[in-house]
Structure 1
Amino acid sequence: MSEPHVLLLTLGGTIFMTESAGGGHAAPDAEAGRRLAATAVDGLRVTARQLANTSSSDLRPHHWRRVLEEARAAVDDGAVGVVLTHGTDTLEETAFALSRLWDREAPLVITGAMRPASAPGADGPANLRDALIAAADPAARGLGPLVVFDGMLHLADQVTKASSRSVSAFASHPVGPVGMVDDGRVVLLQRPLPRPAPLDLELPDALPRVPALIAGIDEDLALLDHLPTGAIAGLVIAGVGMGHVAPEAMDCIRRLLAAGIPVVVATRIATGGTSEHHYAYPGSEVDLLAAGAVMAGFLPPAQARLLLQLLLAAGVQDVRGAFRDAGPGRTGALPGPGTP
Structure 2
Amino acid sequence: MLTNVATVIWDGLSPFEFGVACEAFALDRSNDGIPVPEFAVCAPTVGPVRTSVGFPIEVAHDLGRLAEADLVVVPAMGHTDRDTLPAGVAEALWAAHDRGARLLTFCSGAFALGATGLLDGRECTTHWMYTDKLQRLYPEAKVVPEVLYVDAGQIVTSAGTAAGLDASLHIWRQEYGAAVAAQIARRMVVPPQRDGGQAQFITRAVVEPDSESFGPLLEWIVDHLDEELDVAGLAARSMMSARTFARRFRAETGATPHAWITAQRVLRAEQLLEQTDRPVEWVASEAGFGNAATLRHHFTRVRGLSPQAYRRRFSCTTAS
Larger relative strand fraction: 1
Q: Normalized against structure 2, the TM-score is what?
A: 0.31
Q: Normalized against structure 1, the TM-score is what?
A: 0.29
Greater relative contact order, per chain length (Cα 8 Å cut-off, separation 6+): 1
